[in-house]
Amino acid sequence: MSGDINIVIIIELSNSLAFFITLFEYLRNL
């Protein structure tokens, strides 16, 4: 069960990281 929770956390962190990278690239290109 804890393994599934860890996978969810990793997915959430990956989504957040991708969002911040996209935001950074967007702001850098302004």
pLDDT of residue 1: 64
The structure's pTM equals 0.61
10 residue type, one letter: I
Between CA 13 and CA 22 the distance in angstroms is: 14
Q: Residue 17 is encoded by which pair of tokens?
A: 């990281």
Question: Rounded distance, CA 6 to CA 12, Å?
Answer: 10
SS3 string, 1-30, reads CHHHHHHHHHHHHHHHHHHHHHHHHHHHCC
Question: What span, in angstroms and rounded, lies between the C-alpha atoms of 26 and 20?
Answer: 10
- What are the pLDDT tens digits along the chain (30 aa)? 678 899 999 999 999 999 999 999 999 999
The domain spans of the chain are 1-30
